[in-house]
Amino acid sequence: MVVIPPAMPSPPGSTAIYSVEITNLGDDPVTDASIHTQLPPGVTGASWTCLPMGPGAMCPAASGQGPLPPTVTLPAGGKLIYTLSVPVPPNYTSETVPVRVTALPPSGGTDPNPANNNGYAEAVITQTTRPDLVLTIDNQIGPAPYSVQYTANTMNKGTGASSGAYFSYTAPPGSEVIDVQPGEGWTCVVSKDKRYLSCETTTSIPPQGSAPPVIFVVRSPKDSTMQPFEATVTPRDSLGYPLTDANPADNTVTQSFTVGDAKLTGGGIGCAVAAPASEGMASFGALAGFLLTCFSLVRRRRVS
């Protein structure tokens, strides 16, 4: 089994043409061997033609639509050469169109060399434009002691759209993600140990456009003053696979942020003396003519 990819790159909207050779290398004929054709998700409308080679070799049909015929019958030494045409969708954002063809012996049969029953090839897709996702982080003292609240912003500064994006963050040892507020279109998952946060969106980010922010809170160990930070965002194609970024250097933010600790300090009782509300109260005497008010003093301090 041999699958030969197109000789030249194929841009979106064109047709990638593969050559698939199925040969019976054994000494005996084979009847109804199974053929499985695997195309990428979202790629439809394939067609094929068939050319027999060798005495007694016959194609199941001269041409057809969709995957290759599901079975073949070949004499010993016979070969079928399929020309497989695969349309590349105009909005296709992956860098390759992979095609895999597998041949299996008929039911009850065996193959002395199954290692050569698989063929695989990729058509290279020429993308004329590229996304350039840029990750920026806003931070503020978090709502819990020794925590930081982060806002992850993703902008596409490239010339091509990103069909989606993947955001990942790893908390430093001893720290944990305690709250996540995904923006519209984002789906986020926190690991069981609360150290790993991953978010994915399948919403397209156009050139010069932005994705809704992802807000999350990370708590550090007690008495921490700084919190190391590293997070990355990467573009995704229409099938959810990684897409090449025009400038990967700005996909990652590595920094340290100040940890906030909000707690109560001080306290006690305080008193204030107020003048009487009316002159009539003065007849009770100078001391009685004043109101004594006591209250609890509590100071709240935020240490950063």
Neighbours of 179 (CB within 10 A): 15
Amino acid at 173: P
Kindly list the distances between the CA atom of residue 239 and the CA atoms of 109, 165, 178, 209, 232, in Å, as whole numbers in the listed order: 37, 11, 31, 20, 20
Query: What SS3 state is found at 121?
Result: strand
Does one domain contain both 71 and 168? Answer: no
Predicted TM-score (pTM) of the model is 0.51
pLDDT higher than 60, residue 171: yes
DSSP letter, residue 270: E
Predicted confidence at residue 55, as pLDDT, reads 92
More confident residue, 291 or 235: 235
Does one domain contain both 205 and 271? Answer: no
Tokens of 98: 């992979």
Q: 190: domain CATH number?
A: 2.60.40.740
Tokens of 94: 């992956």
pLDDT higher than 70, residue 63: yes
Does one domain contain both 217 and 239? Answer: yes
Nearest to 252, CA basis, from 185, 167, 187: 167
Among 90, 124, 158, residue at a domain's last position = 124
**Do 182 and 151 meet the contact criterion of CB atoms below 8 Å apart?**
no
Q: 80: domain CATH number?
A: 2.60.40.10
Nearest to 235, CA basis, from 131, 93, 160: 131
Instruction: Report how far residue 10's alpha carbon sits from residue 42's, in angstroms, rounded to the nearest whole number.
Output: 16
Does one domain contain both 21 and 101? Answer: yes
DSSP letter, residue 110: -
Does one domain contain both 110 and 202? Answer: no
What angle (nearest 5°) sits at the alpha carbon of residue 205, between those of residues 43 and 138? 145
Model confidence pLDDT, tens digit, residues 115-163: 889 999 999 887 667 899 999 999 999 999 999 999 999 999 998 889 9
**Do 241 and 94 meet the contact criterion of CB atoms below 8 Å apart?**
yes
Question: Which residues 6+ apart lie within 8 Å of 218 measured at CB?
Answer: 142, 147, 148, 150, 171, 175, 176, 177, 178, 227
Does one domain contain both 113 and 180? Answer: no
Does one domain contain both 23 and 115? Answer: yes
Find the distance separating the first CA and the last CA of the chain, reported in whole Å: 66
DSSP letter, residue 55: T
Predicted confidence at residue 261, as pLDDT, reads 57
Kindly list the distances between the CA atom of residue 240 and the CA atoms of 15, 120, 153, 202, in Å, as whole numbers in the listed order: 22, 21, 20, 7
Does one domain contain both 146 and 187? Answer: yes
* Overall number of domains in the chain: 3
Query: What SS3 state is found at 154?
Result: strand
Model confidence pLDDT, tens digit, residues 80-100: 999 999 999 877 878 889 999
Does one domain contain both 165 and 235? Answer: yes
Does one domain contain both 244 and 163? Answer: yes
Does one domain contain both 164 and 236? Answer: yes
User: Following CA atoms 166, 172, 173, 176 in sequence, which dihedral angle do they give, to the nearest 10 degrees?
Assistant: -70
Model confidence pLDDT, tens digit, residues 102-127: 999 888 788 888 888 999 999 988 76
In the chain, the percentage of residues whose pLDDT exceeds 90 is: 60
The phi and psi torsions of 115 (rounded to 5 degrees) equal -65, -25
Instruction: Report how far residue 269's alpha carbon sits from residue 264's, in angstroms, rounded to the nearest whole number.
Output: 15
Instruction: Report how far residue 227's alpha carbon sits from residue 173's, in angstroms, rounded to the nearest whole number.
Output: 10
Domain that holds residue 138: 133-261
**Do 167 and 196 meet the contact criterion of CB atoms below 8 Å apart?**
no
Among 124, 150, 169, residue at a domain's last position = 124
Does one domain contain both 116 and 201? Answer: no
Q: How many residues does the chain have?
A: 304
Residue range 33-42: mean pLDDT, rounded? 91
Instruction: Report how far residue 96's alpha carbon sits from residue 116's, in angstroms, rounded to the nearest whole number.
Output: 23
Predicted confidence at residue 91, as pLDDT, reads 74
Among 245, 261, 277, residue at a domain's last position = 261
